[in-house]
Amino acid sequence: MNCYNHADQTSVSQCRDCNKGLCDYCAHFYQIPLCISCNKLHIDFEKGKIKKEFLWTLVLGIIPAAAMFILLIGSIPPDKTINDVLLRTLVTFFVFAPIVPGWHALNSFGNNFKGIFLIFSLPGLFMFYILKAMVSIPVGLIALPIRFFRNTKRLKELNAIPLEYS
Ligand SMILES: [Zn+2]
Ligand SMILES: [Zn+2]
């Protein structure tokens, strides 16, 4: 078999995902033997996951924060100012936004506790998710900046991976 990209070269390896023949150069283009189109799928999948996390963190923070803002802005008590409203809006954002990174952080510890709640069947599972969301808030306050930094760095790395043979 010859390399799918260099027809004159004998393949020394195969793409781990699609079994296309890879010559010595193509086989070592990435850390693991992968053709460019298969690697692009991996990259797109990972980028998609990171972008989804960014988006859900924003959405989960912004919706309650906006609701709080609208609720308060209509009738500010005489002893309060617009700054108090903005502060409460910001605090609301940081109560709800951490649920997403906190949830992800808890996932990395495994979902072992789910089994205990499943004993109580569906209502038990519902309880599990409610509790998990509540625990996600304090966990997420720490996980939010860490995951934000890590995900941003990873996105940069993914964007730097070459998708063309030089
Ligand atoms: Zn492939
Ligand atoms: Zn090749």
Residue-wise pLDDT for 113-139, tens only, equals: 666 666 667 787 788 889 889 999 999
Q: Which ligand is nearest to the CA of 4?
A: 2
Q: Please provide residue 142's backbone torsions phi and psi, each rounded to the nearest 5 degrees.
A: -85, -40
> How far is ligand 1, taken at its centre, from the CA of residue 49, in Å?
21
**CA-only gyration radius of the chain, Å:** 24
Q: Which ligand is nearest to the CA of 15?
A: 1
Q: Which ligand is nearest to the CA of 33?
A: 1
pLDDT score, position 107: 87
Whole-prediction pTM: 0.82
pLDDT score, position 128: 83
Residue-wise pLDDT for 24-52, tens only, equals: 999 999 999 999 999 999 999 999 999 99
